[in-house]
Structure 1
C-alpha cells in the first residue's frame, strides 16, 4: 500500500479565499482523482468541493449530498462525483456504496467523511481541514506517493 506525502499546507482567512484556493487546486487534478475531505462539521468540506467543481468547469449548484449519499454533476470537461458518507455506518463496505464504480469512471470523485471507509486504496489525495477560528482554516493536502 502506498503512503501519502504532504503536498501543500495552506491557511485561508475567509470562505471566499478557501473557494478560490480549491478552484486553483482543481487545476492540478487528473482524470481518476479520488479526493478524501477530512474535517469536522462546518470545517469547509463542501466549500472546497464547490471550489473544485468550479475549477473543473462545473457552473451549477454544489451542495453536500448528505441524504442522497452521491451527486453526479453533469460537467462537459470531466465527470464529477460528490459523495457524503456521513450517514453511513463507520467502515462501510466500498462495494456496497459503489465508490469503486465512481472511482473507475475517469472523472474526479470527492468524498466527504471518508473516515467511514474501510480502505484508502482508491484515494489519490487527502485534504484535511482544521478550523482555526470563525473564518480561518488550515488546509493540508497529501497525495499518494
Structure 2
C-alpha cells in the first residue's frame, strides 16, 4: 500500500481535503486520525461530515467519545478517544456496534483504543510545518488505496 504527503496552507485547505476525500468514501470505511492537539483532526472531520450533508456544527466528541451522524445511505461516527483512560471503556459503550457495513468511522487518537478497534483503511497523520500543516495519508487496505489513488 502507498502513502501520500500533502501540505495544507490553512484551515480551509484542511476542510477542503476532507471534502475531497468524502466524495469517494463508501461504507464500510475506517479512518484513523493522529497528530498533536490542534493539528486539524476535527477540522478535517468537519470537512468530511459537512460534505456528506450534515448542516450543523461539527464539534469534537472529546467528552462524549463519539458523535453520530445519520444520513440516508450511511452512518458516520466521529470518535475522539483523547480522554479515554482505559481501552476497556470502549467495551462498555459497545464499540463493535459502531463498525458496521453501513458505517464510516473517523477515529481521533486511535492509539488510546488499541486492541479494541478494527484496523483502519486509511491512517491520516497531521503535523505542524511552520505556519502550515502537513498531512500524511497511508492506505492500509484496498478500499483506502482506492481513495489515495484518486487524490494523486
TM range (shorter): 0.7 to 0.9
Deviations 1:77-130 (A, max 9, x none): 42111111011125x135344332111151211111111022363322111001
Contact map agreement 1:124 1:143 (CA 8 A) in 2 = yes
More helix by share: 2
State how far apart, in whole Å, the 1-side matches of 2:3 and 2:53 are: 23
Structural RMSD (CA): 1.8
Q: What's the TM-score, normalizing by structure 1?
A: 0.86
Q: Which runs of 5+ in 2 are unaligned?
A: 142-152
Segments of 5+ residues of structure 1 without an aligned counterpart are none
Q: How many residue pairs were aligned?
A: 139
Matches within 5 A, 1:10-25: 10-25=6-21
2:125 and 2:135 in contact (8 A); partners too: yes
- In structure 2, the partner of 1:74 is 70
TM-score (norm 2): 0.82
CA separation in 2, counterparts of 1:97 and 1:6? 33
C-alpha separation in 1, matches of 2:64 and 2:41: 17
**Moved segments of 4+, more than 6 Å:** none
Matches within 5 A, 1:27-106: 27-89=23-85, 92-93=87-88, 94-104=90-100, 106=102
